[in-house]
């Protein structure tokens, strides 16, 4: 029975195919605390602790931009002809 459930919920994509889904066309805005920034944006220095920031990430998770405004992240996506999606 468990094998049947696993087969019904299995993704039709390989991990590599899934990583490229929406590549170059889709991006998402991820809210993050300043303490998380170094993980996604190792080149960013001097961010004060306790700040609420927003990262624009490509569909595969590649960081594209960091800002203190959700609207600025969405505007940047639109300027670059990227469709934004919600991630919960």
What are the pLDDT digits (tens) for 14-52? 555 545 554 568 899 999 999 999 888 888 888 899 999
Is 77 inside a domain boundary?
A: yes
Task: Measure the CA–CA gap between 84 and 58, rounded to whole angstroms.
Answer: 9
Is 16 inside a domain boundary?
A: no
Terminal CA-to-CA distance of the chain, rounded, Å? 30
Residue numbers of the domain that contains 76: 22-85
Res 88 pLDDT > 70: no
Q: How many domains does the chain have?
A: 1
Is 7 inside a domain boundary?
A: no
Is 79 inside a domain boundary?
A: yes
| Average pLDDT over the chain, rounded to an integer | 79
């Amino acid at each position: 029975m468990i094998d049947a459930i696993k087969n019904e919920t299995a993704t039709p994509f390989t991990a590599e195919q899934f990583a490229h889904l929406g590549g170059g066309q889709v991006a998402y805005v991820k809210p993050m605390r300043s303490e998380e920034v170094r993980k996604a944006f190792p080149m960013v220095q001097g961010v004060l602790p306790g700040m609420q920031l927003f990262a624009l990430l490509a569909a595969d998770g590649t960081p594209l931009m960091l800002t203190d405004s959700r609207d600025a992240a969405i505007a940047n996506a639109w300027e670059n002809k990227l469709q934004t999606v919600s991630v919960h």
